[in-house]
Structure 1
Amino acid sequence: MITATQNAASEDYTSSEGLRRVLKRLHQQGPGAWQRDPVAADLMSFAAEKYAALARKHGLDPWEAASAAFDVMRLRSTRLANDPWAVVTRGVQVTCIAEERGQGLLCSTNKARRPHISELHDPERISDRETPLSDYHPSFRTTDHFEFEEEPVNDEPQTETSVARASARTAVADAVRLFTLLDWPEDVATLAIDRVCETTERAGSRASAYEALRRDKHALVLLDLPAASWSALLRAILGNTHPALQATSAGRGVLLRLLLGETVHSLLHDEDLVFQIALAAPKRGERS
């Protein structure tokens, strides 16, 4: 429980009305009152203890919160508020949040208070990412443009779309079968591969989908998968997205290899792929 030291006049600044009286008296005494008045010193100690937990929550020292409280207490709006302590508490909370954001964004607290600055993410090193930036960012990619002669279209677009969808469904079913043969529970493999396909369709590219899926904490909970199994499944299904490996088996991934005509039987002869999938198979009772 927070305790406060009262001065000889027994001013109870722990209540809102008591705080109002102390703030008005200090204001009327003029410059230097906060330095000379013993109640002001007790009030600041009380504020440091009162907001210590809030300060620690945002990685600050309790006296940094007390300093923020001091700034709010000197405002005219605080003395005239219906609940001065509520105003002080809110002011300290806003300042602590801004201080934390300022430290994360490597900028001043005043800049961190601005909405267009605070909404930015903290700086991060390229080396902190599991996947190198050059593997998925468009700025690091080069594409060879080839001109192909257009072939005459004999079938209706709807028929071609139906064939493509049927091929995709077959590839997904074969991928599930491959994982099931390598000790993955069928229901887990089905749900996980379906989620990968849906995300890839929305993302538009395998590289973007991989970046989104590897941070998908909801999928780990939904599928009850360990993080290592989820990462291995993504690498196996989507392949390595580095441009230099796009023409290799490791770069294509299971789904693309199945769509290109490979069979489950041929994939089972890929020792590296089989070892990767089988080793990451979730054990019974193992959770993320």
Structure 2
Amino acid sequence: MEILSQTQIKSWLPARPENAHKGLFGRVLIVAGSRSMCGAGFLCACSALTAGAGLVYWALPASMQPSFAAQLPEVITIPLAENATGEIAQSAWEFFPEFCKKYNPSLVILGPGMGESPLLPVLLENCALPLLVDADGLNALSRQAGWHRTWAQERPGILTPHPGEMARLLGQPVAADEKARQSQVETLAQLTGAVCLLKGAGTLISWANNSKLQTWKNPTGSSALAKAGAGDVLAGLIGGLWAQLGSAEGFSKHTAFKAAACGVYLHGLAGDLAAQEKGNFSVLARDVIAYLPRAFAVAEGK
């Protein structure tokens, strides 16, 4: 297992050519949110934009759309059909093929704040785009019998479980120590062929590079990040970075790994910088987004 360094992160960050336009920095489609967890998609979308994505689309329950469209003028919001409990309905799948044909999203972030939306298993089965699965998307995946046999290994993917979600995916107890954490994240990477995280103190990233398993540990971050919404920020950050790297270099396991590594490092660093001013008790998920510009500057050596 290797430790991520600032030098590596600097070399993996996406390039930002001065003569570029937004289309060169990728299009992120976020499918997120429900009546009871409406903030998840908001944080994810803000983070993806702050990470540098050229365009961000957020597909959300129709009842939420007017409010968030006003709060997020930079994000293109897409109202979807919802069920009686305020979760995105299965019939919302009808929007997806037409939307993809019209807007050509680079990748999809699926899951934050979606609850038990019946759209989740449909998208997990049918989405052919590069896919980052987080939060309730991972819970939906774990409920599918033999899910690891049907996961599309040829599709570039990133899975971002916390310890509880990892335990549900593998049908194992929550990892009790570093050795067990490494074993679990490597098992998930081998089962899926995806770039896999295991979040927590010293977040781990594992992936198969030309069939050779590599596992990395992140040195940044603290208990300041142990707050609701921090994972939504991380998902958007990784997705925004991957949109840029994939658009420039191709959507592959390699660009997925670089996006995940840079995202985890910057997320922890932004939390550390916020905690220097606000303390470990009082950092909010939105503060992590606010400190991302400083984190980018530090990572770039500025």
- Which TM class, normalised by the smaller chain length? under 0.3
Between structure 1 and structure 2, the one with the greater Rg is 1
TM (norm. structure 2) is: 0.18
**More helix per residue: 1 or 2?**
1
Higher relative contact order (CA 8 A, sep 6+): 2
Question: Per residue, is there more strand in 1 or in 2?
Answer: 2
Normalised to the residue count of structure 1, the TM-score between the two structures is 0.19
